[in-house]
Amino acid sequence: MIIEIPTKGTCLKHDSIREPTLEQLREWIGCEYIEVVTVFFKDEYEQLIVDTEGLLTNKPTNPYATEIYLENTRIHHKDLYLKAIFTNASIVGTAVLLTEENRLT
């Protein structure tokens, strides 16, 4: 499953695409450089694709993507979680969650 997570509004599911291209991911997220973050989501390791330079371009915080990231960090990387909370880490701009067969290889 491919889920586009905007900063506001409804998440969008892209069912018709098997494997997204880098160009599609960049277009959905609205950036040139992306980062792939492995997260544990609903009992599976998934990929959260985020804008690498979003903070530098003043994109708004993405509360749902940040929640996914922080919850994963809290459970699996307690040392990083404390650092993330202390530095007020957040995901900004639109993010894309790739699950199951749609993960990048």
Instruction: State both tokens at 80.
Output: 């990083």
d(CA 85, CA 88): 5
* 79-89 confidence digits (pLDDT tens): 666 665 565 67
Q: Which helix (H) or strand (E) holds 82?
A: helix 78-86
Lowest model confidence (mean pLDDT) among 22-31, 65-74, 75-84: 75-84
In Å, how far from its chain's centre is CA 72?
Answer: 12
Size (the chain), residues: 105
pTM of the entire structure? 0.85
- For the chain, the domains span 2-102
